[in-house]
Amino acid sequence: MTRNVVVTGGGTGIGYEVARRFADAGERVVIVGRRRAVLEQAAAELGGNVTPLVCDLADPDAVEAALGALPATVDVLVNNAGSRETVIGAGPHAVLARWRGDFERNVLTVVLLTESIRDRLPPGSGRVVTVSSIAALRGAGSYGAAKASLHAWNHFLSAQLGPSGITANIVAPGTVAGTEFFGPRLDDAEVSRRAARTLLGRIGEPAEVAAAVYFLASPEAAFITGEILHCNGGELLGR
């Protein structure tokens, strides 16, 4: 049976590869993000099963307005949208901007949409997969704290959805090439430094994270919920 899949942040990087993985399997995919041109280009590249939807997921009014364009049944929700706040500087105003920005971009973008469409998840087969980060476990200031809050929230969500047979899991990637997250900071020297921290001696690829997401959304993963799947090449070992 063809499933309806919603992928946030689906226009680039990991989200793009997640959308590709589901589209290649014949699923109907909606990619959600803020940038119309990026989404439309991605949808055109990924094929007819992919529909773009422009929405600022940190804005509750925008989320409400977008609900009518989302499927009445959402079989799989992949919460991938997120970014790092770039505000720098000292003093309470800069600190507030940085922490508030990271919370809005990485927590509200997940929670507002998930809570708005959770009643559309089909009992017995619904899947929620949220993309976090190794930063949630290593630290990384306001960004790491925002991602760590998703882990706590996912424990809560999985307990609520579990009695209905709906699973909710986290994928926590390490350093991944081919995304907009690092920008010019991920030069050859930085890639080598980060690769040396892993057990495999390399950084990851978006398609590898997408494969982890796809597995957790599959029928084979029906007995896995409330978990954090590390996808970091052994840079940080799970406990």
Residues labelled catalytic? 143
- Pick from 3, 177, 147, 163: nearest CA to 76: 3
For residue 141, the surrounding DSSP H or E stretch is helix 141-161
> How would you class 230 by CB atoms within 10 Å of its CB: exposed for 0-12, middle for 13-18, buried for 19 or more?
buried
Instruction: Give the angle subtended at the CA of 173 by the CAs of 200 and 3, to the nearest 5°.
Output: 120
* Separation CA 78–CA 127 (nearest Å): 8
Type of residue at 139:
G
Find where tokens 């790092």 sit.
84
Instruction: Give the angle subtended at the CA of 147 by the CAs of 160 and 153, to the nearest 5°.
Output: 15
The answer to whether 135 touches 145, Cβ cutoff 8 Å, is no
Beta-bridged to residue 127, according to DSSP, are 76, 167
Radius of gyration of the CA atoms of the chain, in A: 17
DSSP 28-64: EEEEEES-HHHHHHHHHHH-TTEEEEE--TT-HHHHH
